[in-house]
Amino acid sequence: MNQILRLFALVAILAGATVAWVALGGFTSARTSSQQGALYGAVADLWGQPQEQVAPGVQFAWQVPIEQDEVVREFGKVVYDEAGQPLVRRKTTYETRQTDVDLASSDIAVDLHLDQRRKGLMWFPLYDVNFAGTWSYLHDDPHPGTLRIRFEFPVANGLYDDFRFSVDGREQADVFKPSGGAVEVPVEVTPGQLVRFSIGYKSRGMTQWTYRPNRDHGVGQLEQFKLVMTTDFADIDYPSFTMSPSTRERVGGGWELAWTFRRLVAGHGMGMVMPERVQPGPLASSLSFSAPISLGLFMLWIYVFGLLRRIEVHPVNHLFLAAAFFSFHLLFAYSADHLPVEAAFALSSVVSVALVVTYLRLVVGPRFAFVEAGLAQLLYLVGFSLAHFWEGYTGLTLTVLGIVTLFALMQLTGRMRWSEVFSEHFSADVPAK
88 forms beta bridges with 71
Of 41-55, 147-161, 187-201, which range is least confident? 41-55
Q: What is the pTM of this model?
A: 0.71
What is the model's pLDDT at position 428?
45
What is the C-alpha separation between 416 and 428, in angstroms, rounded? 14
Mean pLDDT of the 364-382 span: 91
Most confident of 133-142, 403-412, 423-432: 133-142
Domain closes at, from 228, 245, 273:
273
State the CB neighbour count (10 A cutoff) for residue 143. 14
Q: Is 70 a member of any domain?
A: no
Domain final position from 273, 303, 332: 273
The string of pLDDT tens digits covering residues 226-267 is 999 999 999 999 998 898 999 999 998 899 999 999 887 777
CATH number of the domain enclosing 120: 2.60.40
Residue 221 has pLDDT above 80, yes or no: no
Residue 380 domain-assigned? yes
Same domain, 234 and 289: no
Identify residue 35 by its one-letter amino acid code. Q
Within a domain: 427: no
Q: Give me the numbers of helices (H) and strands (E) for the chain, helices first please.
A: 9, 17
Q: Mark whether 269 and 130 lie in a shared domain.
A: yes
Cα angle: 276, vertex 282, 285; to 5 degrees: 160
Residue 80 lies in a domain: no
pLDDT average, residue stretch 82-101: 80
For the beta carbon of residue 378, count every other beta carbon within 10 angstroms: 14
- Per-residue pLDDT, averaged over 21-28, amounts to 91
| Cβ count within 10 A of residue 182 | 15
d(CA 77, CA 74): 5
214 with 313, same domain? no
How sure is the predictor about 381, in pLDDT bands with cuts at 50, 70 and 90?
Answer: very high
Does 262 lie in the same domain as 294?
Answer: no
Q: Is 75 left (phi over 0), alpha (psi -120 to 50) or beta?
A: left
- pLDDT (average), residues 298-302: 91
- Does some domain include residue 89? no
Q: Based on the domain organization, do 291 and 149 belong to the same domain?
A: no
- pLDDT, mean of residues 406-415: 85
Q: Helices 280-308 and 315-335, interaxial angle, to 10°? A: 160
- How many whole angstroms separate alpha carbon 415 and alpha carbon 367? 24
Q: Which of the listed residues 257, 273, 289 is the one where a domain comes to its end? A: 273
- Specify the pairing of strand 105-119 against strand 220-231: parallel
Is 12 or 70 the better-scoring residue by pLDDT?
Answer: 12
369 and 303 in a common domain: yes
CA angle 411, 362, 8 (to 5 degrees): 55
Looking at residue 431, what is its pLDDT? 44
Kindly state whether residues 260 and 325 are assigned to the same domain.
Answer: no
Question: What's the pLDDT band for 173 if we cut at 50, 70, 90?
Answer: confident
How high does pLDDT run on average in the chain?
86
Confidence (pLDDT) at 18: 95
Q: State the Cα–Cα distance between residues 229 and 110, nearest whole angstrom.
A: 5
Question: Structurally, how many domains does the chain consist of?
Answer: 2
Does residue 339 belong to any structural domain of this protein?
yes
Residue predicted with more confidence, 26 or 309: 26
**Full residue range of the structural domain in which residue 373 is found:** 3-37+278-421
Q: What would the DSSP string read from start to end of 236-281?
A: -B--TTBPPPSEEEEETTEEEEEEEEEEEEES-BEEEEPP-PPPHH
Instruction: Taking residues 69-89, report their average pLDDT.
Output: 77
349 located within any domain? yes
Return the percentage of the chain with pLDDT > 90, whole number. 45
For position 294, what pLDDT does the model report? 92
Q: Are residues 127 and 265 in the same domain?
A: yes
- Same domain? 218 vs 361: no
Domain membership flag for residue 88: no
Nearest residue to 56 (alpha-carbon basis) of 8, 101, 2 = 101
Checking if the pLDDT of 187 tops 50, the result is yes
Confidence of residue 432 (pLDDT cuts 50, 70, 90): very low
- In the predicted model, is pLDDT for residue 268 greater than 50? yes
Is 150 in the same domain as 290?
no
Q: Of 146, 185, 193, 194, nearest to 166 (Cα)?
A: 185
Q: Name the nearest CA neighbour of 212 among 160, 266, 263.
A: 266
**Do 289 and 215 fall within a single domain?**
no
CA distance 118 to 140: 53
Q: Is pLDDT of 34 > 80?
A: no
Q: Can you tell me the distance from the alpha carbon of 329 to that of 352, in angstroms, rounded to the nearest whole number?
A: 9
Residue 52: what pLDDT? Answer: 93
Q: Are residues 195 and 295 in the same domain?
A: no
Instruction: Say if residues 224 and 106 touch (Cβ distance below 8 Å).
Output: yes
